[in-house]
Amino acid sequence: MESNKKIKKAILMLEDGTRYDSYHFGASISSSGEVVFNTAMTGYTESMTDPSYKGQILTYTYPMIGNYGIPSSSYCKESISEFYESDKIQVSGLIVSYYSNRPYHWNMNLSLSDWLSRNGVPGLYGIDTRSIAKKLRKNGGSMLGKILIENEDIPFYDPNLENLSEKVSIREKITYGNGQYKILLVDFGLKNNILRCLLQRDCTIIRVPWDYDFTNEEYDGLVLSNGPGNPKIYEKPIHYIRLVLKNERPIFGICLGNQLLGIAAGGDTSKLKFSHRSHNQPVISLKTGKSFITSQNHGYVLDSENLPKEWKIFFKNLNDDTCEGIIHDYKPFFSVQFHPEASSGPTDTEFLFDFFINSIVNKSNK
């Protein structure tokens, strides 16, 4: 049941001085971070626990959020959360147009407001969130902002100046499963669905921290996970990736992992004019000519112009023609900017995990 709390007025303040008067739900605290948007109709539980959103205030453009509440924190095999993408809420705040305070679903355990309260995260409602998204789009897809409860003021906070993986990555090595293929998974802030997708494909997963020296590890394939922040901050793992590019063990990079692989290969990254933050970004494979709908959440892009000639663009964004992935001509290395493990959906590109496993099989057969 929804907690019986007095409705408090609140403010969303953007770095350019724009002010949105609103109402508060969730935790009764002020918060600051990078304001971004998401266009999904469902999946707020998954998005809010996605470590890629660390330090961000998430704005939902879909008009009604919270109508099906929050599921239980149950676990599936290998002690992986069944419904969450990490062990806690990662966003610094939530902004919605209309908050549904009478949620109902057969699997509901808590209301969204109570879940936010228990995790110390504030939420705002009563704002035209689509107008916020339009404003953010004109400012590179994000702006610094702060949620102010009852006129309490706090400073702005820019998460892009920090190494956020230090806050969301694991501290020590963890092993999952007992499958045929040994996968080394570097955790820059990974989503749990990467683990689920690999375990479904007969893998043993060795999950290591973001700054772990994996250059002397034995494995069949290397996965570079998604994660938050500016890719150029990650100098140590980029150095390790450069070293393992000298051998031919398969590599699969996802989101931030795509950018790190590209930098290690000789490319560069830059801030996008319009960030990709939606569940319906169209991409096309330059190998097959097929198009796919993907889920994305990033403000940086891999500039592929400086890559060595043996690297090719794998996928391209059909909205702005930016690089959405790269692939090596003859070594089993590839990466994508979008989320093939998207949770919640779309699942159009989950086949890339099979593509990765097949590259391991082909390598072992040579």
Which residues are catalytic, by number? 255
CB atoms within 10 A of CB 112: 27
Closest CA to 298 of 280, 262, 271, 260: 271
| CA quadruple 228, 232, 237, 242: dihedral sign | positive
Distance separating alpha carbons of residues 115 and 341, to the nearest angstrom? 25
Distance separating alpha carbons of residues 118 and 212, to the nearest angstrom? 32
Cβ proximity of 83 and 121 under 8 Å:
no
Helix (H) or strand (E) holding 110: strand 108-110
Amino acid at 317: N
Residue 358 sits at φ, ψ, to 5 deg, of -65, -35
Map residue 117 onto helix, strand or coil: helix
- Tokens, residue 232: 């150029």
